[in-house]
Structure 1
């Protein structure tokens, strides 16, 4: 009887350790960082881009960005099903877009998308620019916010692709569910 209790306690400790590890992994994956897009083809987007749904995009510029920028700023965003929206030039020096500590709102038309799960910004020019966040609102999608808080490298599509994150988090939830079933099974024998 004593060996069984020790075994169950060790099993419970092991299961707790696995659960804690999965929880830390889930927390770390929920705060993604922007990155350079490795294989991003704008020409594909331009061929597919037919205006049929409106999107509101709010881009907030960081307070640690330059006072203003003359850089050319482009955006592309979309869903996991290949619906991609592209705006080749958001900047307009006469409108004072992308000034430090400001937010700019853009109306962009593009293909109708499901839930927006990626966004990339492109900057070219000498000044530099640091966006704080990008919020995207669409007719058939939930509003989504991507937090940048970093300077955008020149001549590089830079941003987030969270399209596979939903399937990863569901796999993580399945692992947690399986762990709970195992623990319930063990506790049923223990009681």
Structure 2
């Protein structure tokens, strides 16, 4: 009984001192037909982000499709990369990991990510990891073939209170 109580107290203390893992809770990505890229945020400070995209081992062997990405925080700061693909450099091959340096406005904790694929080859990302200067690294788990011509991804911004992000 004492050991069980001690264990529960330890779990409670761990949840206070280590509040949230760096991964977004796995859930199904969704279509977002009404997603609009925000105009340039010229007044915002500029930051560099490292984005690592792992292509699933069950994806097509390679893709010539155009791949774009947008991510941001609960305050409306958004980073947009119009084209990440480059068929000549073997980007997004099956079982590969590609890393990109992307500049954009500085964000707080990143809570949404959408990918856009345009083309006929098909592509299945496994996960996308984003590291920035003002926020913990975050991982979004896809493991779905992206539909063609629509933004597809995650929005976990409404799951947190604004005070929890700061």
Decide which of 22, 31, 53 is 2:26's aligned counterpart.
31
* 1:88 is aligned to 2:82: yes
Tell me how far 1:31 sits from its aligned partner.
3.2
**Residue matched to 1:47:** 40
Q: Which structure carries more relative contact order (alpha carbon 8 Å, separation 6+)?
A: 2
Alpha-carbon distance in 1 for matches of 2:159, 2:60 = 33
**Residue matched to 1:157:** 151
Alpha-carbon distance in 2 for matches of 1:48, 1:151 = 31
**Residue matched to 1:138:** 132
Q: Identify unmatched segments of 5+ residues in structure 2.
A: 1-24
**Larger relative helix fraction:** 1
Give RMSD over aligned pairs: 1.8
Tell whether the 8 Å contact from 1:76 to 1:87 is kept in structure 2 after alignment. Answer: yes
Decide which of 40, 43, 60 is 1:66's aligned counterpart.
60
Call closer, same or farther: CA 1:51–1:64 in 2, change over 3 Å: farther
Call closer, same or farther: CA 1:37–1:95 in 2, change over 3 Å: same
Matches within 5 A, 1:3-22: none
The Cα offsets for residues 48-74 of structure 1, whole Å up to 9 and x where unpaired, read as 366710000000000000000000000
Q: Identify unmatched segments of 5+ residues in structure 1.
A: 1-29, 171-191
**Larger relative strand fraction:** 2
Tell me how far 1:124 sits from its aligned partner.
0.2
What's the TM-score, normalizing by structure 2?
0.79
